[in-house]
Amino acid sequence: MKAVAIFRHFHTEGPGYLGEYLDQRGVKWKLIAVDEGASVPSGPGDFAGLVFMGGPMSVNDELPWIPPVLALIRSAIARGVPVLGHCLGAQLMSKAMGGVVSRTPVKEIGWGEVRVADNGEARRWFGTSVGHFDAFHWHGETFSIPPAATLVLSNPWCQNQAFACGPHLALQCHIEMTKALVEVWCKSGRREIERSSSPAVQPADRILERLDDRIDALHRVADKVYARWSEGLRF
């Protein structure tokens, strides 16, 4: 059985709840730690699906691993191997598919509502009973919706929160968060939070309020999304 490849671009931004979800269902996955110098595979054929996690860098930075990652995403999409992107991973997907990644006017950090678009593609990913939910955010850039893709999530601060294209899904917001990840990010990113004047950046103590309840609710959404994405895995 082929494994799902999960690409980590920064040491604190691992697979989180997605890893737990796959483990619980007996789906093999392999971590490719780009942040530790792991090489990017030349093609997607050895994997059931590809997942790209977040990171503080920009897809527009001149980093040596970005061009091969963009090529890998294009190859996977051409061959029907499902691709899933979280935050930076979604921006990589947008750029690989012909979109544009740029600074967002309003930086988002913390919890914030996202709305499910009123279209069939969004309902396939999020179900018919979920019109909105609280997602976790930590980004200062945004992507355009590439050709052939469909907007599936949005909010007032960042119009393009997610897009889908067949078996592929790109999420600007984070649904992979665990309690431990939120706590680590708040600790490591405290200076960024304190220095920001953005109206969509929450103080750390507010982010940590009712954390167990918020994580439980987020995981219920993630379960639907990851189940839908897993249907397309090419074992």
In this prediction, residue 157 carries a pLDDT of 97
Q: What is the mean pLDDT of residues 76-104?
A: 98
202-213, pLDDT tens digit by residue?
999 999 999 999
124-172, pLDDT tens digit by residue?
999 988 899 999 999 999 999 999 999 999 999 999 999 999 999 999 9
In this prediction, residue 129 carries a pLDDT of 84
CA-CA distance, 161 to 157, in Å (whole number)? 10
> Of 115, 130, 227, nearest to 160 (Cα)?
115
Percentage, residues of the chain above pLDDT 90: 98
- How many CB atoms sit inside 10 A of residue 171's CB? 26
**Residue 76 DSSP SS3:** helix
In this prediction, residue 130 carries a pLDDT of 84
3-230 CATH: 3.40.50.880
Q: How many residues does the chain have?
A: 235
DSSP secondary structure of 25-67: TT--EEEEEGGGTPPPPS-STTEEEEEE---SS-TTS--TTHH
pTM of this prediction? 0.97
Domain ranges for the chain, please list them. Answer: 3-230
